[in-house]
Structure 1
Amino acid sequence: MKSLLKKVLSESQFASLRDAQIFYKTSKANQLISSGQSAGLKFASQAKPMASAYYSLLSRQFQREERAVLSGLAKYKADLKEDDANVFLMRRNVHRLEKGLTMRPRRSVFGRDYILETVNVYRKIVAEPSRSMETTGDSLNWAFDVLTAYFRASAVDPVVDHAREVFRSCMPPDGSCAGGGRRVPYKRILDEHPVEYDQLKKLAIKRRSVRWFEQRTVSRDLLDKAFTVAGLSPSACNRQPFRFLVFDDPETVAEVASLPGGTSGFKHNIPVMVVVLGTLDAFYDEKDRHVPYIDGSLAAMSFALALETLGLGSCIFNWPDVERHEIRAEKVLGLKPYERPVFFMGVGYPEPEATVAYSQKRPLEVIREYNRPISKG
């Protein structure tokens, strides 16, 4: 052991043999701990539910997510009890009706299990749209048009007929003629190609993580154009359980830019910070707990590409689930218990003389696999 320690001492900056001994013992202890953790994780991953549940009780890593999920469920249920005004329920159910209208062949009666629920939640929200944050009326006009198309397409049925009568008694959004039937399933123009493949590929290559920005103000009009594109991204049942928190005040930017760890060394030159925020109060069941992260990421990618078309650049900062960082972000951003940061983004005009990482991507043959053998039954 002493010969090994002398070798460590000769190849390092340790001041004494004692320092090398301490380093050696600590390293061995860390190796043993790491080995024990690996064995425990392997056991938990292969164990039966009760055994893995026991592991989760010993680990704090999942507790914040569990609390956020439970808080989101409680908020969802509370919104239902409070006069049924739950906008996420309305969005989900209207989208389910849309999918039913697009089916081939279309059933003469569908949606019986949830049509009355859908009409009721629409009726409550349209009577007081500010409660649902749908104050622009666009979503309510969409709901009105889809429900109108649904009842026109539905055959005679006691449940559907009752829901139809309730719907007829509802006021249209804004007390007007609603959307005029425009926001319903439609045929796309398939021979129209606004962007060719080569153009899209060039845009994807051009988009790289920018860490050095010009020190000039970013127009909110440009940001909103990019957010508009982000809002068109796919979302599970069209619930869109995310928001973008935007900070462009220099003092606030400095505080927000210090939250993610990936900004060290250049955070002082970021003009705008964007927080991609997921909300877990959009879901009635734990099975959807990952949707805010998925949908938020889809929207953020569209946002990043849109920024490039407007002469702006961005950098996405990873947000690992570290409790002390989560607690600080919750405090700084004033988050609700059911809100969780997906990740952070820096935005601005790229500095012309600055370089970006080449970031060689994995080859196509690695990221794509056709027809993997599957187990049937």
Structure 2
Amino acid sequence: MKTLAKTFLPDTQVDRLRDARLLLRESKAARIVTSAQTGALRFASLTKSFASVYYSLLSGQFRREERAVLAGLAKYHAELQDDDANVFLMRRNVHRLEKGLLMRPRRPVFAKDYILETVNVYRKIVSEPARSQESSAESLRWGYDVLSEYFAVTAADPVIDHARDVFEKCPPAPGAGSNVKRIPYQRALEEQPVTYEQLEQLSLKRRSVRWFEQKPVPRDLLDKAFHIANLSPSACNRQPFRFLVFDDPEMVQEVASLPGGTIGWKHNIPAMVVVLGSLDAFYSEKDRHVIYIDGSLASMSFSYALETLGLSSCICNWPDIEAHEARAQKVLGLQPYERPIFFMAVGYPDPDAMVAYSQKRPLDVMRQYNTEIASSERASA
């Protein structure tokens, strides 16, 4: 409706319609409608069944997410069924082995239920690197070193012994045999490379910047920041996200028009980054939120790294609006299992521009210690 009004009506009429709509919100009729909507929401939220009926019949808000999750599951399991090299499975299982290796006390036999699966997917990737984007020497060496350490420390067992035989017949990973092993290790804790005060100052300096100098953003600096982002925590080290970077001026404007929060300042954005989640990284619906968790962790590291390089950013919210999602899928050429997490404007900050103060919530409100909890028995009752 907004688009139609702007297309066929003069600006003055559009402004009057908007003002009338805003005033209507304060009317008695509007309050009655709002009260009825609130009552319906309260009723639907009483049970899981009511909520399911509400979102099945009265709201299609989650339909795109539901389809994306199913498309991701279908791709994940199809790769296993077709005997393909599933990258995310290898990353997850190798990391699970790492956690078993660092346990105290370490069990003499562990990972029996997935070690053969891990060796087989590693074998497929190292034997035919072209089948997988995960054929980098670093990742394959990590897999090789962790598997080698696992077989070196586990006790004799029929399942493990069979998996060991399969592993020993695999082609060597690039760089295998190096003196530097990519396995669990003890960190050096004597000195901290960054003080608390330095981190606090960086956090205070980082603001959402919407006005930039009109000059290109060097790709080597962006890649330095992405390197830091790549070191961020990730659930089972799957890293189910990627960054799409646009620095061509025409493409920047096209991409910058996707999130609604760039109206009024998108014309001065030098580069846009799309943080994209990939739901084909998971074997179950239970992990569907990991793309948002891991993608956000990496993006925060990216944002801080930009500040150390003289660059700034603004994270643009990406609310789940179907029309916007459909347009983003078309413009960005996304697969059904891929979802934008949010967008980021990046550039050299304009020294004469202002930034929002953005007062944060009080610490005592944001943080609570030892809130009342229920025992396991009470919680399951």
Does the TM-score normalized on the shorter chain lie above 0.5? yes
Unaligned runs of 5+ in 2: 1-18, 377-381
1:46 match: secondary structure: coil
Matched residues, number: 357
2:214 maps to amino acid? Q
- Post-superposition Cα deviations, 1:196-238, rounded to whole Å, max 9, x if no partner, equal 1100000000000000000001100000000000000000000
Distance 2:320 2:234 in 1: 23
1:177 match: secondary structure: coil
Distance 1:312 1:132 in 2: 34
- Post-superposition Cα deviations, 1:5-58, rounded to whole Å, max 9, x if no partner, equal xxxxxxxxxxxxxx99xx7699444433322222222122221x3222111102
**TM-superposed deviation, 1:132:** 2.0
User: Share of identical aligned residues, percent?
Assistant: 68
Q: TM-score, normalised by structure 1?
A: 0.91
Q: Structure 1: which 4+ aligned runs deviate by more than 6 Å?
A: none
Output the aligned Cα RMSD.
1.9
Contact 2:235 2:294 in 1 (8 A): yes
- Equivalence for 1:9: none
- Equivalence for 1:116: 116
2:244 match: secondary structure: strand
1:31 match: secondary structure: helix
- Equivalence for 2:214: 215
For the pair 1:242 / 2:241, whether they are aligned, the reply is yes
1:120 maps to amino acid? N
Answer with 33-42 or 135-144: which moved more. 33-42
2:109 match: secondary structure: coil
Q: How does 1:76-95 map to 2 (within 5 A)?
A: 76-95=76-95
Contact 2:141 2:176 in 1 (8 A): no
- Equivalence for 1:172: 172
Aligned CA distance change for structure 1 residues 294 and 25 (closer, same or farther; 3 Å): closer
- Equivalence for 1:4: none
Q: How does 1:36-47 map to 2 (within 5 A)?
A: 36-47=36-47
Distance 1:346 1:153 in 2: 48
Distance 2:189 2:44 in 1: 50
Aligned CA distance change for structure 1 residues 74 and 180 (closer, same or farther; 3 Å): farther
Distance 2:148 2:367 in 1: 43
Distance 1:329 1:134 in 2: 26
- Equivalence for 1:188: 187
Distance 2:32 2:131 in 1: 55
Distance 1:78 1:198 in 2: 50
- Equivalence for 1:251: 250
Distance 2:56 2:265 in 1: 39
Contact 2:69 2:285 in 1 (8 A): yes
Q: How does 1:129-140 map to 2 (within 5 A)?
A: 129-140=129-140
- Equivalence for 2:8: none
Distance 2:226 2:296 in 1: 13
2:339 maps to amino acid? R
1:284 maps to amino acid? Y
Distance 1:61 1:35 in 2: 21
Distance 1:181 1:145 in 2: 9
1:250 maps to amino acid? P
Q: TM-score, normalised by structure 2?
A: 0.90
- Equivalence for 1:63: 63
Q: How does 1:1-377 map to 2 (within 5 A)?
A: 27-47=27-47, 49-58=48-57, 59-174=59-174, 176-177=175-176, 180=179, 182-377=181-376
- Equivalence for 1:5: none
1:111 maps to amino acid? A
**TM-superposed deviation, 1:134:** 1.4
Contact 2:122 2:143 in 1 (8 A): yes
2:320 match: secondary structure: coil
Distance 1:263 1:369 in 2: 35
- Post-superposition Cα deviations, 1:72-100, rounded to whole Å, max 9, x if no partner, equal 00010111122141010000000000000
Aligned CA distance change for structure 1 residues 268 and 333 (closer, same or farther; 3 Å): same
Contact 1:122 1:143 in 2 (8 A): yes
Aligned CA distance change for structure 1 residues 110 and 24 (closer, same or farther; 3 Å): closer
1:170 match: secondary structure: coil
**TM-superposed deviation, 1:131:** 2.2
Contact 2:125 2:135 in 1 (8 A): no
